Amino acid sequence: MKTKIYIAYALLSVIWGTTWFALKVSLNEGMVPSYAVGIRFLFGGLIFWCIMLFRREKLPLNKRAISIYLQFGFMNFGISYALTY
């Protein structure tokens, strides 16, 4: 069991570390920062969506839930990334 935890942690570190490397490379190639971050979140969202489909989990999509998702996304990611870049 401990080996699985170490492998999962190592995999998480590699994936997380490569996202920042890819972002740095794209910025050095002249890509607009907001576009690079947007692509990163697009791929992350698609992966998350595929995992949810595989696990057959449902995400509430009523007006209130969508409003909360948008507010959370704007406050948590939009503002912090806008201030960073």
pLDDT digits (tens, 9 = 90+) for 8-61: 999 888 888 887 788 788 888 888 887 887 888 888 889 988 999 999 988 888
Could you tell me which residue, 8 or 80, shows the higher pLDDT?
Answer: 8
Task: Tell me the pTM.
Answer: 0.61
Instruction: Return the domain boundaries, the chain.
Output: 2-84
Query: Exposed/middle/buried for 27, CB within 10 Å: 0-12, 13-18, 19+?
Result: middle
